[in-house]
Amino acid sequence: MLRVGVTGGIGSGKSTVSRRLDELGAHLVDADAVAREVVEPGQPTLEAIRERFGDAVIRPDGSLDRAGLAAVVFADADELAALDAITGPAIAARVAQLRSTAPADAVSVYDMPLLVERGLWVHEHLAVVVEADPDTRVRRLVEQRGLDAADARRRIAAQATDAERRAVADVLLPNDGTPGELERAVDLLWEQRLAPFAANLADATRSRRPDRSNDCVVEPRPDWEARAERVVARLAAALAPAGVATEVSHVGSTSVPGLLAKDVIDVQVGVRHLADADRDDVKRSLAHAGYVHSLGNETDTPHPSGDAPERWGKRFLGGCDPGNHVHVHVREHGSAGWRFALLFRDWLRHEPAERDAYAAEKRRLLQQHATTSDYVLAKEPWFEQAWHRANAWAERTDWHPR
Residue 266 DSSP SS3: strand
- Please list, in sequence order, all residues whose beta carbon lies within 8 angstroms of the beta carbon of residue 393, skipping any fewer than 6 positions away: 347, 350, 351, 399
Is 15 annotated among the ligand-binding residues? yes
Are 211 and 140 within 8 A, CB to CB? no
Sign of CA dihedral 278, 272, 294, 239: positive
Is 397 annotated among the ligand-binding residues? no
Is 136 annotated among the ligand-binding residues? no
* Strands 126-131 and 171-174, bridge-based pairing: parallel
The radius of gyration of the chain's CA atoms, rounded to the nearest angstrom, is 25
Closest CA to 53 of 36, 69, 39: 69
Is 12 annotated among the ligand-binding residues? yes
- Please list, in sequence order, all residues whose beta carbon lies within 8 angstroms of the beta carbon of residue 118, skipping any fewer than 6 positions away: 84, 88
Could you write out the DSSP letters of every residue in 311-369? GGB-EEEEE--TTS-EEEEEEETTSHHHHHHHHHHHHHHH-HHHHHHHHHHHHHHHTT-
CA 338 to CA 195: how far, in whole Å?
35
Could you write out the DSSP letters of every residue in 46-114? HHHHHHHH-GGGB-TTS-B-HHHHHHHHTT-HHHHHHHHHHHHHHHHHHHHHHHTTS-TT-EEEEE-TT
Q: What is the DSSP letter of 123?
A: G
Is 299 annotated among the ligand-binding residues? no
Give the strands of the sheet with 291-293, arranged side by side.
245-251, 265-271, 326-332, 315-319, 291-293
Q: What are phi and psi of 183, to 5 degrees?
A: -60, -40
CA 166 to CA 375: how far, in whole Å?
35
80 HSE (CA, 13 A, CB side): 15
* Strands 326-332 and 315-319, bridge-based pairing: antiparallel
Sign of CA dihedral 318, 321, 325, 330: negative
Write out the binding residues: 11-16
- Residues annotated in a binding site for ATP: 11-16
